Each structure stands twice: as C-alpha cells, then as structure tokens.
Amino acid sequence: MSPVADRSVNPLARVRDAVWRPTPASLRLLALLSVIANAGIIVTGGAVRLTKSGLGCPTWPQCTPDSMIPTSSPEHSAVNMAIEFGNRTLTFLVLASAAAVFVAAVRSVPRRRDLVRLAAVQPIGVLAQAGWGGVTVLTDLHPAVVASHFMLSPVLIIAAVALYVRSGEGDEPVRPLVGPRLRALALSLVPVAALLMVAGTIVTGTGPHAGDDRAERFGFDIAQVTRVHGALAWITVALTVAVLIAVRRTDAPRALRRRVWDLVAIELAQGAVGYVQYFTGVPALLVGLHMLGSALLWIAVLRVAFATRDRGPLAATPAPEPTTAASAEPAASQPAPHPA
C-alpha cells in the first residue's frame, strides 16, 4: 500500500499530518477543538463542584499526601475522589489540544505571526489554570479563588475564538462591515457579558454549591447578588435586542444576522434555565446546564463581535509540485529532441 493511501485510512497519521503538516482547514479545525475543550472544562469543573468533589483530592499536585492517584480514605468517598481526579486528568487532554494547535500554527506555511501568538496563549493558559486549580485546593475552595479559577476559562476562550476566526480569514487591515454605531453596540455586549459571568461566580460562591460542605462561602445576601446577576442578564438581553433591530434595519452581512439570532436563542434558553433553577432551589443538574449555557453565551457574544469586521479572504496556499519518477530522472537520460 502506498504511503498516501495509508495516510488516508490511518487516523493517527491523519492527526499527525494535521498538526505537523497543517493546512488552513486543519488548523481551523484544531482551533475549533480548542474552543470546545476550553468550554468543556467549564462544564467538568462545574461537575466537580456540584457533586461536592472539590476536595475529593485534598492535596495538590498529588491526590493525597501519599499518592498521586486516588486511594482509600476515611475522609473522602471513592466517588468524590474519582470525580476530582478525573477532572485533573482531563486537564492533560486540554493541554494536548492546546499544544497541538500551537505546533500547527508554528508549522503552517506561510507562518502567520498573529496566529502563532493566539495559539501560544492556549498551552500557557491551560498550565496557568492547572496551577491556579491547585491553589483552589490548597485554600480549601475559597470562593474568591474558585471564582477567579472559573474566569480564566472565558479569557482562554477569547484567544481560542479569535484564533478560529483569524485562521479562516486573510491578513488585510481590519475592515468594518457595519456602521460605527452598530459596531459599538455589538462590541458593548462583550464587557456586559463578562460582568454577567463575574456576577454569576459571586452568586455561586454565595449559594449552596460550594464544592465541599467545609468550604467557605461569600457573606453576601444571596437574594441581593441574584438580583444584580439578573439585572445584568436583562441588560445583556436588551443590548442583544437593540443589535438585532439594528441589523434588521441596515444592510448588515448575513453572517452577522445569523450570529445575532444564535445569541438570542442561547439567551432565551439560558434565561429559562436560570429562572427555573432559582424557583426550584437551584438543583445541581440545572446549575450544570446553566454553566454550560454561560460558556455558549460567551462564545456567541464573541462571534457577534468578530462578525462586525473582516480582514479579507484567506490567501490561497500554493500546492507543492508533485514528484514523479519521470520528472525525477536526470536531464541527460531524456531523449534528445528530433532535429527539425
């Protein structure tokens, strides 16, 4: 079997080529996987907290003072230890995804410096998040430390989404696709959504899902911080509606219209989950869905912001000349042309 045919059926070879011999399409796919991985770690981290497994491994980097892996302990159930250790193990998969997209960006031809910088944020950020996760354990899940640990993920998602968008467009100067007022309105969604997520971490840090019964809580009034979170949610919705009205009244690109409608749909679902969980005593399952919704909402907001501008089409990468046996023969071995 020829090497080309072997690569077409060997998944490991295809993965290797996507990283070591990347194409624009494979680089963009790896960037998308990075977005998914960073959103997924929010959900798995939430599962640790919602199952009260935050101190399932009571030390860091070891799981217990005597072992790197879970062992029997009278103070922690085997299930809680397995969940916390599983979340730590998933960090290596996220790191592998981050390293893969960085290598692919470096190996791309031509190499684009801004893509390399955005890709470099991924492994550095994952390592920083892993280290800060250790601090959350060593501080017995202090709510401020846990909240900042959560907020590292949205920061990494910014770079991941930017890498995904930039890997599919060219390097021309930024060209606004909408008027300055509409673009400013769309961009204002980003800081408001960021404040919404910060407020959400404070609500969680004040509420019952601490990650462990012994964990400290914020001393705020849960009703008050929930109202602040709800107000920011309504401000986000109001801004989204304003953007939706503006894109319908102007000659906005179709892609931007789709991104805004995606955001509207996510906000409706997120709002429904939020109110149901509030009136049903914040059950763990709904809180987990709400955390997933926060990641999706943040990604949707970023995609709306990026859809208001463009940097031209992606430049075509010239394909390498195929090497054949005939073309590889020395010129002297070729027959001389017949004289005219």
Task: State whether 103 and 192 are in the same domain.
Answer: no
Amino acid 95: pLDDT: 93
Biggest distance spanned by C-alpha atoms of the chain: 99
Task: State whether 88 and 191 are in the same domain.
Answer: no
Residue 102 lies inside a defined structural domain of this protein: yes
The length of the chain in residues reads 340
Q: Which of 136, 168, 200 is the last residue of a domain?
A: 168
Phi-psi region of 281 (alpha: psi -120 to 50; beta: other; left: phi over 0): left
Task: State whether 128 and 255 are in the same domain.
Answer: no
The CATH number that applies at residue 183 is 1.20.120
Residue 223 lies inside a defined structural domain of this protein: yes
Task: State whether 278 and 233 are in the same domain.
Answer: yes
Task: State whether 143 and 188 are in the same domain.
Answer: no
What does the alpha-carbon distance between residue 169 and residue 175 come to, in Å, rounded to a whole number? 12
Q: Bridge-partner residues for 175, per DSSP? A: 310
Q: Bridge-partner residues for 67, per DSSP? A: 64
**Tokens 């590889």 appear where?**
328
The answer, yes or no, to whether residue 323 has pLDDT greater than 90, is: no
Q: How many domains does the structure of the chain reveal?
A: 2
Task: State whether 227 and 142 are in the same domain.
Answer: no
Q: Which pTM does this prediction carry?
A: 0.89
Q: Which residues are within 8 A (CB) of 327 and not within 5 positions of it... i.e. 6 or more apart?
A: none
C-alpha closest to that of 239 among 182, 318, 307: 182
Q: Which of 168, 194, 223 is the last residue of a domain?
A: 168
Amino acid 325: pLDDT: 43
Q: Bridge-partner residues for 64, per DSSP? A: 67
The answer, yes or no, to whether residue 318 has pLDDT greater than 80, is: no
Amino acid occupying residue 157: I
Task: State whether 140 and 197 are in the same domain.
Answer: no
Q: What is the mean pLDDT of residues 71-83?
A: 82
Helices 113-138/78-107 angle, 10° precision: 160
Amino acid occupying residue 17: D
Q: Which of 134, 168, 202 is the last residue of a domain?
A: 168
**For strand 309-310 and strand 175-176, is the pairing parallel, antiparallel, or unpaired?**
antiparallel
Q: What is the mean pLDDT of residues 140-164?
A: 95
Residue 318 lies inside a defined structural domain of this protein: no
Amino acid 35: pLDDT: 96
Task: State whether 160 and 178 are in the same domain.
Answer: no
Share of the chain above pLDDT 90, in %: 67
Task: Dig out the tokens for 212 from the structure.
Answer: 């462990």
Residue 332 lies inside a defined structural domain of this protein: no
Task: State whether 225 and 121 are in the same domain.
Answer: no
Q: What is the mean pLDDT of residues 184-192?
A: 97
- pLDDT-derived band at 133, boundaries 50, 70, 90: very high
Residue 107 lies inside a defined structural domain of this protein: yes
Task: State whether 269 and 185 are in the same domain.
Answer: yes
Task: State whether 20 and 153 are in the same domain.
Answer: yes
CA separation, residue 202 to residues 50, 57, 207 (Å): 15, 24, 9
Task: State whether 25 and 86 are in the same domain.
Answer: yes
Task: Dig out the tokens for 30 from the structure.
Answer: 């790896």
Q: Is the dihedral of CA 135, 137, 141, 146 positive or negative?
A: positive
The answer, yes or no, to whether residue 334 has pLDDT greater than 80, is: no
Task: Give φ, ψ of 50 to 5 degrees.
Answer: -75, -20
- pLDDT-derived band at 209, boundaries 50, 70, 90: confident
Kindly report the average pLDDT of the chain as a whole number. 88
Looking at 88-97, 103-112, 278-287, 329-338, which range is the least confident one? 329-338
Q: Bridge-partner residues for 309, per DSSP? A: 176
Amino acid 5: pLDDT: 47
CA separation, residue 334 to residues 91, 157, 248, 322, 325 (Å): 58, 58, 66, 19, 12
Residue 328 lies inside a defined structural domain of this protein: no
277 is in which domain, residue-wise? 173-313
The answer, yes or no, to whether residue 82 has pLDDT greater than 80, is: yes
